[in-house]
Amino acid sequence: MREAAERVDHEALDASPDQGISGGYAYFQGAIVPFASAQVSIATHALHYGTGCFEGIRGYWNPDHEELYLVKMREHFQRFVKSARLLKMELTESLEELAEITLEVLRRDGYRQDVYVRPIAYKSSPVLKIDLHTPANGLAIFALPLGDYSSTTGLRVTISSWRRVTDNSIPARGKITGSYVNTALAVEDAQAAGYDDCLMLTEQGHIAEGSAANFFMVEGRALVTSPVNDEILVGLTRAAIIRLARDLQLEVRERSIDRSEVYQAEEAFLCGTGVQIGPILSVDGRPIGSGRPGPVTTALKETYFHAVRGEDPRYREWLTPVYQ
């Protein structure tokens, strides 16, 4: 296994997303530098106008393999490039270069635990002009240790009063930084009311997704999920769940979902890179099914975690080893 050139102080980095990042390395302005050196001006265009896009890539440590596996790294970077183009940013780094930079950052960090990788492209010029063609483009990539972003054992959610941003306002298909104010408003209200998360509706009143995760519910031996034209981010974990479901001989239906259907669902869960798979126990105080994680959700979750830790050879094409 390739040893890192230098190792960060892992005790200074907590596995909680609420903690700040104080060490490690980052790719910034074309070079890998200490994380503390990767700084931008307070006049940076993206800071003022939300003109950036990002990805989140999970890495899972397998102690038996002595390996850190990145999940669907190439697919994440393909979506990253598409998001950048929505903002008229053409990255100079190729997909292969983005992948190799990411691997090198992680090798220097030397993590032997689960991690989260954050690539971000942004309008980097210190100009206060609202457009997409004047500012220059910047790119940064860094990683941090991360365990569970939210509960994978059970979530209490509510239907948010905030509607999901529409594709004709800010494209939901891109992970655009400015659009996540929509998420922040919704999840803040949900948590202030005592819930773990929320479901967001489209302007037509259909279930779009969670605050920052895709939604599935169970009908018998079928999974039902919102279609791509109901203002969802087309999730890579969502695609993985669909593949796993079909391998478990489950039918998958993509269609619009009404609010009242969710209240009557047999099972329901959120999924995403950060959330992973979070069973929904109740919605607006109404128990989903038995009020406990159901058998379909449990089977999918167990299969998923075996897959992303490199323990199921059927899904090894999803994984990129860091140290091999």
Instruction: State the catalytic residues.
Output: 175
User: Distance from CA of residue 165 to its chain's centroid?
Assistant: 17
Residue-by-residue DSSP string for 52-111: EEE--EEEEEETTTTEEEEESHHHHHHHHHHHHHHTT---SS-HHHHHHHHHHHHHHHT-
Per-position DSSP letters for 98-158, written without gaps between them = HHHHHHHHHHHHT--S-EEEEEEEEE--------SSSS-EEEEEEEEE---SS-SS-EEEE
- Residue 322, phi then psi, degrees to nearest 5: -85, -45
H-run or E-run covering 287: strand 286-287
Question: Tokens in use for 73?
Answer: 């790294």
Q: Quick one: CA torsion of 149, 152, 157, 161, rounded to 10 degrees?
A: 30
Q: Report the length, in residues, of the chain.
A: 324
Partners of 176 in beta bridges: 53
Structure tokens at 85: 């183009």
In single-letter form, the type of residue at position 255 comes to R
Question: Taking Cα atoms as reference points, which of 61, 238, 59, 275 lies closest to residue 151?
Answer: 275
Tell me the CA distances in angstroms from 34 to 108, 113, 120, one per residue in order. 10, 20, 17
**DSSP one-letter code for 176:** B
